[in-house]
Structure 1
């Protein structure tokens, strides 16, 4: 009975981050409001030249929904890549985020604050659903954008606490 009570007291806590942190968990804001549904997750390729999904697709509330800067920075690019309008923000420390398809009146060099409107979401990336593709890079490495707005560290089990001593262990 005591063992089962102790097992019931096991806590789930975030594990320490592996490797250098990309950003403090939850340090940025979502680029759409209200908090959007994630339609397609980050799925990087095993090798840089292979196909994969180097960002996340976020559902916009409607065609023309405002896309906001998740962190402060400087506009690095506004224009078309292939056939889609793209906005790229340089956040410093080698971090850049990009959004597509987004129509914008900003110009390279414009400063943007966290929460500033970057432009408007356009249809076309997710079929009949209006969405934006959000990518984040540090240098040439693609990072999971959700790590900047959520704590994605895995949970680990800690040993049960011994209620009598306040110490871990099976007592």
Structure 2
């Protein structure tokens, strides 16, 4: 009869940790990324130094920018600024006039500011032509009466970045601070 050796007991296996970082470390990493990436973008103060309001003195905003739900959806792709017909309209930043003409029934002026940025103002009559260079603050036309603020008048100012409309107020430092709201249904992290 052969005797089999009795196997020695194995030491307990260490418990495997789940891959990834603990929640507190993940939050710290996300915060660090936001701070690093955020510092690469121009701050509202920096943007305000390169851009100015298209009307002087600083006008009242009578209708805010409203992002559309999708590219062709309803929205207000700019801001409406209080102004009287005949008001001088200024270039908000240096650039090259890319369009002067009518869109539907309104005279529109568009300036290409480079780096994918274009601003448009309407209803604006202008003697400029496509290809003219403009300086920030240079008078580029005059506000014509009518437009979509009837029976009153206003200047509609829109800005596009790489073809997508963005809020023009961010370029003149007029956006308020972001406010983070709680996400419904989520409980506070356990301490």
TM-score bracket for this pair, using the shorter chain length: 0.7 to 0.9
3-state SS, counterpart of residue 120 of structure 2: strand
Instruction: Give 1:72-151 correspondences, 5 Å limit.
Output: 72-125=94-147, 126-151=149-174
- RMSD of the TM alignment (CA)? 2.5
Per-residue displacement from partner, 1:109-151 (whole Å, max 9, x unpaired)?
0000011111000111211222111000012211100000125
Per-residue displacement from partner, 1:74-121 (whole Å, max 9, x unpaired)?
000000001000000000101000000000000000000011111000
2:82 alignment counterpart: 59
Larger mean Cα displacement after TM superposition, 148-157 or 71-80:
148-157
TM-score by length of 1: 0.75
Higher strand share: 1
Instruction: Give 1:4-83 correspondences, 5 Å limit.
Output: 20-21=41-42, 24-27=46-49, 28-60=51-83, 62-83=84-105
Show structure 1 runs of 5+ residues with no match.
1-14, 158-171
**Cα pair 2:61 2:79 within 8 Å, conserved:** yes
Show structure 2 runs of 5+ residues with no match.
1-33, 181-191
The change in CA–CA distance for 1:40 and 1:70 in structure 2 (over 3 A counts) is same
3-state SS, counterpart of residue 70 of structure 2: coil
Higher helix share: 2
Which has more radius of gyration? 2
How far did 1:22 drift?
A: 8.5
How far did 1:21 drift?
A: 4.8
Aligned residues: 142
